[in-house]
Structure 1
Amino acid sequence: MVTNIKVEIGKRIRSARLSKGLTQIDICDDESELTIRQLTRIENGQAMITLPKMMFLSEKIGIPIQDLVDTDKIEVPKRYLELKNKLIKSHTYGDEERIRQHESMFDEIYEKFYDNLPEEEQLLVEVLQVQLDVYSSKNSDFGLSLLDEYFHQILKKKHHSYNDLLIIDLYLFCCAVGLEDKTYFDDLSQKVLSYIDYSDFERIYLLEKILLSILVQIEPKKYLLYTKVFREITETTNHFQHKPAIYAFEAKYYLQVKKDIKKAIESYDKSIMFAKMLNDSVLVRNLEKEKLEDLSNLT
């Protein structure tokens, strides 16, 4: 059973660490790669170790990975990967039926897969769950505690993993809804442009989500700076899901900054057209409402 594998791996790591005379503090150092809490959970068999952490521990302890774990026995179920992909790449746009569908997917993950997932996958699920809870106005205390635990660890890093970007997106999202102050907002908003790696399609999609989180809370005069990068990304990856958002923010720029109603309407219409091409009736309805409200506020 996978649970026994977690316990066995934890025992091996703890035994190897102690045999080398190393404390958890010796291993974790500044906790930029692995926190003491994370190592404790791994050693106690409460969390399944991931490959990056295996490689880190192997180097810090000074023993081969195969002495710590049989990597062939660690598998992530295909159904879980399918659910995760849907949760990451589908937007609710505040629609109650879509929120219910997402909640149902989370229920299945927690019931069938969560306990036996690697720790990094568990964290990913928790972050996605928090975003849905905050969006649907549920208790957000857990989300804030997640940020407290991981966010400052991330700020110490020069290179960011997929989950690091998820935590950054959660921070930006919490800033947008007023749950976090914006102490690090400007710095992260500027740095995120340097994170772009066009060879990593999974990470580039997440960067698109981060750009959306930035756009919803910056001054209109800065919209084109980020939509330009956004457009370059979508042209490279052929991700058309976020095209409506790009045109919508450009419409707001032309309307609020340039006072060019004609160009604003053209951009709004392109935004709605792409939403229709995506066959997303909820998004179409939201954009049409937004267009009317923005134009009426101008008069």
Structure 2
Amino acid sequence: MKEEGFGDKVRRLREERGWTREQFCDEEQDLTVRQLTRIELGISKPTLTKIFFIAHRLGLSLFEVMPDYIDLPDQYLKLKYDILRTPTYDQLDLIERRNAKLLEIYDHFYDMLPDIERLAIDALQSTIDVLETQSDIFGKDIIETYIPRIVWKQKYDVNDLLIIHLFIEHTYLSRMTKCSASRRMFLKLVSELPRQVVVMEPEELFVLRNVIFAAIRVLGAKGICEPIPTLFQGIHHIMQITQDFQKYPIFSMLQWKYELLVHRDVQRAYSYCEEAIIFAKLMGNQHLMGQLHDQWRIDTLDT
């Protein structure tokens, strides 16, 4: 039996949904009917951008529809999710372990990965570089190419979230004027994050949680406070679903910052501070306890 090619697969999935080529291409801004015809007939090879659009229209992840779809190596997935799951809290030993895992991915797996997974790893590395250098020179091409497409998706996958996180860190460093396109795009993505809690797989929710944390940090820094309570609810919902409370001290810290910034309620803020330190103590993380004490002193210096 002849193996189904990419074009054949796209045509089959399109026809299963009852769409003509004209309906599939919609306004033809991202993919023309002529281009789709050539792709389905195997005459032309689609670019990653075209594959991204096709996957979105079919309601599939990029990885599922990629022409070089392969099972990802278990060790690669373990390394990727270890990096995503384990916070460093600015501790040198944890940072070194994370960097060693990233290096292992680049040395042993990167060249054999599908393009979308390479993109995800590049986005992850770029986010780390932006955070460590406080420079937005890293990952600009990823943001410019993929954020305008992700912003219209109804459901995000893990790799989408990695690109969104990179965009959020760029937003933190930008001036982002009130009427700018980047501000509108940022706020649209932020408003969508809590809705993803009920559509993502439970084992992937920790990635969404981390992205929401990053979004709250940027909103606070930019003085855009209206979306924050809904994001808090999203984090709380994730913790209830996953029963994973390792980031609870950070959650409490963000809540105390919100109370100080928005409500000027030092007493309520301090109750969140105590909560954060208690959880850090229960986790046995002395380093984090010290960071929380220092942050509270900084935040209340002028109160």
TM-score, normalization by structure 1: 0.74
Q: Which residue of 2 aligns with 1:134?
A: 130
3-state SS in 2 of match to 1:135: helix
3-state SS in 2 of match to 1:184: helix
Q: Which residue of 1 aligns with 2:251?
A: 246
Q: Which residue of 2 aligns with 1:163?
A: 159
Matched, 1:109 2:93: no
What is the CA–CA distance in structure 1 between the aligned matches of 2:105 and 2:42, rounded to whole Å? 39
Pair 280,131 (structure 1): closer, same or farther in 2 beyond 3 Å: farther
Matches within 5 A, 1:59-138: 74-137=70-133
**C-alpha displacement of 1:19:** 8.8
**C-alpha displacement of 1:278:** 2.5
Q: Which residue of 2 aligns with 1:274?
A: 279
Runs of at least 5 residues in structure 1 that lack an aligned partner in the other structure: 1-8, 36-48, 55-68
Alignment identity in percent?
23
Report which stretch shifted further, 84-93 or 214-223.
Answer: 214-223
Pair 167,28 (structure 1): closer, same or farther in 2 beyond 3 Å: closer
Q: Which residue of 1 aligns with 2:238?
A: 233
What is the CA–CA distance in structure 2 between the aligned matches of 1:221 and 1:141, rounded to whole Å? 27
What is the CA–CA distance in structure 2 between the aligned matches of 1:168 and 1:78, rounded to whole Å? 25
**C-alpha displacement of 1:77:** 2.5
How many residues are matched? 259
3-state SS in 2 of match to 1:296: coil
Report which stretch shifted further, 97-106 or 205-214.
Answer: 97-106
Runs of at least 5 residues in structure 2 that lack an aligned partner in the other structure: 10-37, 57-61, 177-181
Q: Which residue of 2 aligns with 1:188?
A: 189
Pair 127,28 (structure 1): closer, same or farther in 2 beyond 3 Å: closer
What is the CA–CA distance in structure 2 between the aligned matches of 1:125 and 1:136, rounded to whole Å? 17
Pair 23,216 (structure 1): closer, same or farther in 2 beyond 3 Å: same
Pair 149,282 (structure 1): closer, same or farther in 2 beyond 3 Å: farther
**C-alpha displacement of 1:157:** 2.9
2:301 to 293, 296, 299: 296
TM-score, normalization by structure 2: 0.73
**C-alpha displacement of 1:171:** 0.8
What is the CA–CA distance in structure 1 between the aligned matches of 2:250 and 2:40, rounded to whole Å? 55
Report which stretch shifted further, 97-106 or 132-141.
Answer: 132-141
3-state SS in 1 of match to 2:154: coil
Matched, 1:32 2:53: yes
